[in-house]
Structure 1
């Protein structure tokens, strides 16, 4: 792809000014229209070293309303970014609906450097596209000779000398080899909805005009299409037959434990967890605990017994409510990526990203295509966590209908527990069968080798709390052994 490109294309200043007069005005108009239609736009600039990414970004933003865009430097990862899964620094920077975010390097840099695979990068991109994001990808190209000339010029200038590093000089010496690797990545990630745009960048006027012209065309196409989340349902089989009387149907809820047994086990396990929490920090092991379950299923009680044993500076409990306006303006997983822990810390989610395939599915807050697509998106996200060396434990706190009713009435009768019961809890209970089917499908579709679901038999609170504690202790212990 790249070897055939004529990098020396040129444009006269007169022609540039003539074309840009109309293009620049049009780009500003399209930015406003995208804001009105709530279309998020991501623009990425990749390319060979010294091709002029910063210069081109500067040319583009001159024609934009500064209140509607943001530029991100995403080259070398900072310390905070290195302590989290690779895509954390990109997902947390995705634009809300109607805004434009510009990146001076894309996630494909991670493919080039061997941090992630090509499939990881393209799946991330497709997920955003399917959610309605317009992605425009530029690759700026100059010849080895031009690259060497620019590097030498920068090195001679005191103001730009710091930008030339040893690696860039090595890349210039090995230009053909580097280009071959970049070419392979471009070929395998040339997605139909977001194709690569190769920008011949020897002449800066020509390059700037091509970039702005491309942006105008792509934004016009998106506005014409009325960019919105795509409707593919990912080819899932019908759930009515596949998941009737599924996982939850066979759970033995008679398991129990005496108070004396519970107190003895709790003391032993919490002591272990206290020690493991310190080791976890020293070894820089990130841990994510995800709690789902029936209303009154015991999530809060299980979480409390975990946190009693740990230093509060090393964990965060993340309660998940209905999304606010800012969260609604992003991809539904954005708010969870924001809360994923850095290495050595723990995040405990009280309700999770699985709301998309549970309450949003059952109550109709998500379209069928959205919740069906979510199984793959969630599996991909969780794989990012475990591939980065983290632990992810997902608990379903399971009780039966009779036990739930008993706990509801208990909450209504005890003043200090009345805040826990709402009309919504009773409404959800009336749709128990619909939720049970959704839970069965959720567990079967998202229980993976690296992030399996743990169904906790919860009719006995004592038994449930000890099972959660023991599962967490065993998982951290095992992971620390593997790391030593």
Structure 2
């Protein structure tokens, strides 16, 4: 129990630290009243027909355990009182005093932030270098060891898709969520791979999240928010066609965020993934679809010359190809910094599409079997 509470407090601290690093001002208030004052206010509300509905049996039950709750409250306040997200205890017996203290604290904090931003701009203060997660070498290659015929791949896919259907029902029945995240080179076959994984799955139990550039509204928030909003609950499977790793790939290479931002993102992402898996009881599969530069060119040319596929190729795809070496380095760093024991990367050798689809399905099935 104590270990569980400590873990929750640490996850709260990590979350608040991410918000702070992203520029958020965090103020936390605990309004304290005595047990006697709480009882007086509850009785006062009960006597008023307009507020009686606010006082439920659950509220009275919390009141009865007032003394028992104090050590837990003190633990969380002490454990989560940090320089970047401090607690303020407000003596709330006198309501006017409480309101005054709240306003005064908020005003001082905002004035301090405004003054700090002004000084930083004038002095061009350099941001502190973020700490990096340790590197775990992840081997990359685009071609599998052996060659597989189209017939062999189709036969293997058929049986695996049936097994996936059965396991999906068990996952849903036991309310275990699963995330499958796809990253890879342009034209590596992410869409086709997803289609084969979901071939016989019940659409009531899974959904695909196609990820594009953030909207103007989404850019107003922490970059992880738009992804976390789509994380699955219960027994659902969420499949991300590209993911939060854009922060350390395209945003890094194209300078859409600062270097301290993308360097800090490795630890933020690892923490977010660990928190989700531990708190939900679910799992996470992360695929990197690797193809050679030569195979990508062949697929680009094939798309450009096929009227049914030409919509898949854009000027941006050709431009990104010219920056292959920059992306290649970013991919190496991403795999090394974010392949963890709890959420490892699986590299899919994708020069052979049939092999890639079989390996992806096998990996998902193995993960589900472990979760069950």
TM-score normalised by L of structure 2: 0.90
The correspondence of residues 331-346 of structure 1 with structure 2, limited to 5 A, is 331-346=222-237
Residue matched to 1:97: none
Q: Which residue, out of 137, 151, 164, partners 1:260?
A: 151
Residue matched to 1:371: 262
* Secondary structure of the structure 2 residue equivalent to 1:343: coil
Q: CA deviation at 1:475?
A: 1.6
Residue matched to 1:402: 294
* Secondary structure of the structure 1 residue equivalent to 2:308: helix
Alpha-carbon spacing, 1:121–1:315, altered in 2? closer, same or farther (3 Å): same
Stretches of structure 2 that go unaligned for 5 or more consecutive residues are none
- 1:232 and 2:123 are equivalent in the alignment: no
Residue matched to 1:62: none
Residue matched to 2:10: 119
Residue matched to 1:183: 74
Tell me how far apart the structure 1 counterparts of residues 339 and 360 of structure 2 sit (CA, whole Å).
17
Q: Which residue, out of 208, 216, 220, partners 1:317?
A: 208
- 1:283 and 2:174 are equivalent in the alignment: yes
Residue matched to 2:21: 130
- Greater RCO (CA < 8 Å, at least 6 residues apart): 2
Q: Which residue, out of 314, 325, 330, partners 1:422?
A: 314
TM-score normalised by L of structure 1: 0.70
Residue matched to 1:308: 199
Residue matched to 1:141: 32
- Residue pair 1:256, 1:462 contacting (<8 A) in 2 also: no
- Residue pair 2:92, 2:98 contacting (<8 A) in 1 also: yes
Residue matched to 1:438: 330
Residue matched to 2:185: 294
Q: Number of residues paired by the alignment?
A: 365
Q: CA deviation at 1:167?
A: 4.9
Tell me how far apart the structure 1 counterparts of residues 90 and 126 of structure 2 sit (CA, whole Å).
29
Q: CA deviation at 1:434?
A: 1.7
Alpha-carbon spacing, 1:266–1:255, altered in 2? closer, same or farther (3 Å): same
Stretches of structure 1 that go unaligned for 5 or more consecutive residues are 1-110
Q: Which residue, out of 113, 116, 120, partners 1:222?
A: 113
* Secondary structure of the structure 2 residue equivalent to 1:416: coil
- Residue pair 1:248, 1:436 contacting (<8 A) in 2 also: no
Task: Out of 319-328 and 173-182, give the one that drifted further.
Answer: 173-182
Q: Which residue, out of 458, 462, 466, partners 2:358?
A: 466
- Residue pair 2:143, 2:291 contacting (<8 A) in 1 also: no
Tell me how far apart the structure 2 counterparts of residues 124 and 300 of structure 1 sit (CA, whole Å).
32
* Secondary structure of the structure 1 residue equivalent to 2:130: coil
Tell me how far apart the structure 2 counterparts of residues 414 and 175 of structure 1 sit (CA, whole Å).
71
Alpha-carbon spacing, 1:161–1:115, altered in 2? closer, same or farther (3 Å): farther
Tell me how far apart the structure 1 counterparts of residues 256 and 139 of structure 2 sit (CA, whole Å).
24
Q: CA deviation at 1:411?
A: 1.1
Q: CA deviation at 1:130?
A: 0.7
